[in-house]
Amino acid sequence: MVGIIFSSCISNKKLVYMQELEESTGPLVSSSKKYPYMRENYLLQINDIVEVNIRTTDEAINMVFSSVGNEGGNQMQMGGGGQGGGDIFFMNGYTIDDSGEIEIPLIGKVKLEGLTTEQAKELVEKEVRTYVNENEYFVRVRLGGIRFSTLGEFNQSGKYTVLQNRVTIFEAIALAGDLSRVAKRDEILLIRQYPDGSQIHKINLLDRGLLNSEFFWLKPNDMIYAEPMKVKEIGAGSTLVETLTLLTSSITAVALILTLVR
């Protein structure tokens, strides 16, 4: 019985994020070692939403460019973060279609798939120079927020949009209300989209080495899935108190049934 009680409880080692998993023989310090960031230049993909803001010295041309996307861009700055903000980008930004293109008023279709936002900006600038002289225009191209989904053992699983240029996996977990106590923090599944398909990556949130991993930063359309521990399958409590309470209630119920039968 004692074995059942302690085997059903969840150790803190399975709950605490960013542990120093390898044995350390050095002196105790107040700061950890520095973990360099590993960031990749994100390449735009089909279904990404981008903000393309174009301004020139010609007001007539500005009105054409502002018919889609640009006026919305001003509103997007005030939209804030969270789930509702993404609708503003969807209505006023440009969605990369199945051909990898967006259609800009006056300019027409521009292929952005496979480009960084900086390369996309240069391409749009080249098209704008057809209508205005150099140094008489301003172009900005950026992602319309980071969209991601959380499934499984999250306190508030769902689909989220963050109006920032970059988001860490821990920020995403915080937005989803953190993981439940029975989530497998050492086996989080990250489903990431690539130009040629999707790939599943298994991530250990308990390891500080994640800080300088390519998976520390989320990418648009990432999906995070948290599996439950075995303790949920057997229906035991996640803490010692919960387990003892459950065991006591079960014993009391069995004793009551036996008494009634007799």
Do 114 and 159 lie in one domain? The reply is no
CATH number of the domain that residue 88 is part of: 3.30.1950
Query: What domain range includes position 255?
Result: 238-262
d(CA 253, CA 261): 12
Residue listed under structure tokens 């004793």: 255
Greater confidence (259 vs 81) lies with 259
Greater confidence (164 vs 77) lies with 164
| pLDDT, position 235 | 52
Do 175 and 139 lie in one domain? The reply is no
Query: Does residue 117 carry a pLDDT above 90?
Result: yes
Query: Does residue 83 carry a pLDDT above 80?
Result: no
- Taking alpha carbons only, the member of 193, 187, 151, 186 closest to residue 172 is 151
| pLDDT, position 226 | 95
Query: Does residue 197 carry a pLDDT above 80?
Result: yes
Q: What is the average per-residue pLDDT within 74-79? A: 36
Torsions phi, psi for 233 (to 5 deg): -65, -40
d(CA 155, CA 2): 30
Question: DSSP label at 68?
Answer: I
Do 133 and 167 lie in one domain? The reply is no
Do 258 and 219 lie in one domain? The reply is no
Query: Does residue 69 carry a pLDDT above 90?
Result: no
Query: Does residue 105 carry a pLDDT above 80?
Result: yes
What is the biggest distance separating any 2 CA atoms in the chain, rounded to whole angstroms? 98
pLDDT tens track for 15-63: 677 676 655 444 444 577 887 877 778 899 998 999 999 999 988 888 8
Q: What is the average per-residue pLDDT within 3-12? A: 52
Domain count within the chain: 3
Which secondary structure element, helix H or strand E, spans residue 237, and what is its range?
Answer: none
- Taking alpha carbons only, the member of 182, 186, 197, 191 closest to residue 225 is 191
Which residue, of 120, 143, 166, is where some domain finishes?
143
